[in-house]
Amino acid sequence: MEVVRVVRDAAPVELSPAAVEFEELMASITAPPTPLESKRSMSERLHRGATEPEGVTYREVDANGVPGIWVQPTEADGSFVLLHSHAGGGVTTTAAVDRKLAGHIASAVGVPALVLDFRLAPEHKYPAQVDDVESAFNWLVSQGFAAEKIITIGHSIGGFLAVAVALRLRDAGQPMPGAIVSISPWADLEIAGPTIESNAANDKLLSRASLEFFRESWIGGTGLAPDDVRINLNRADLHGLPPTFVTWGTYELFQGEDEVFAERLKAAGVTTEALPVAGAQHSYIWAAGRVPETDRAIRTMAEWVRSILPIAR
């Protein structure tokens, strides 16, 4: 029997940029992880909390240089869109982690969603994350979406970003989103709210130490103080914001500051709906499709959005 030997050419091959990136991904899997890489890897497990929504498709997009996932329900009013920012303290998680939960929310509201992969700290400090959300907002406008038909939404630091980009647009005299949905927002970087301590045993995800790590990663070395109005919603001027839905879990560290944030919105004359979810964890939205309390909250926020905006379905 003849044995055929294949002689492989060892000469260098010119690879496409995408092929080089794939090689780097393969190499990173076998390299010993840094502590930060370990945190990021563990955070990717959070996608398991949500079920895969039915009747939803996904595709990758480039939104003004910001990578994202376009989430398209089968039945949707394509003239409106959710601009979604994920959680992770600005340091961990990705659009892929939020893909499924965004699908559940998009289906309930009846509009598509753009889930962003904004830049992460400490490699990219503030204001990179707000810059990326603003770039994506402007991209949606360039694609034909009226500003008032964009709903900014997010949870944890994403809940902050959903509000922060509207504040930036307001201050620049630019058209703002039609509505904001802020879920478990990190509203007070001073980490001084009363439930930081009183809910310490209840919150299974956050701790004072983790918040201090995220804060240092995000604004350390920038010269910003934790009470700076650019990064602290409970110090910022909230007047003139679009209608805002704020929700949080009563077991999370942010309960106290989110209650204050909702009251400050109302005091500023903003049309506000507040939804505390009894016994729910921080970023309870990760359990979309699996936990009845989460699904009820999604239905409530969807009904609110549809009461504020003329979404067809």
Query: Is-contact 193 261, C-beta < 8 A?
Result: no
Superfamily of domain 56-308: Alpha/Beta hydrolase fold, catalytic domain (3.40.50.1820)
**pLDDT tens readout for residues 257-271:** 999 999 999 999 999
d(CA 100, CA 146): 26
**pLDDT tens readout for residues 155-174:** 999 999 999 999 999 999 99
Judged against a pLDDT cut of 80, whether residue 32 lies above it is answered with no
Query: Is-contact 94 167, C-beta < 8 A?
Result: no
Judged against a pLDDT cut of 70, whether residue 9 lies above it is answered with no
Judged against a pLDDT cut of 90, whether residue 23 lies above it is answered with no
Query: Is-contact 88 157, C-beta < 8 A?
Result: yes
In the chain, pLDDT over 90 holds for what percent of residues? 84
d(CA 32, CA 16): 26
Say which residues have a Cβ less than 8 Å from residue 110's Cβ, sequence separation at least 6.
73, 75, 76, 77, 302, 306, 311, 312, 313
DSSP-derived pairing of the beta strands 244-249 and 179-183: parallel
SS3 218: helix
Spell out the domain ranges in the chain: 56-308
DSSP-derived pairing of the beta strands 66-73 and 56-63: antiparallel
**pLDDT tens readout for residues 121-141:** 999 999 999 999 999 999 999
Task: Return the structure tokens found at 72.
Answer: 């398209």
Judged against a pLDDT cut of 70, whether residue 28 lies above it is answered with no
SS3 279: coil
- Which pLDDT belongs to residue 53? 97
Among 40-44, 187-191, 198-202, the least confident range: 40-44
Judged against a pLDDT cut of 60, whether residue 10 lies above it is answered with no
Pick from 180, 194, 205: nearest CA to 274: 180
Query: Is-contact 52 71, C-beta < 8 A?
Result: no
Judged against a pLDDT cut of 60, whether residue 287 lies above it is answered with yes
d(CA 247, CA 155): 9
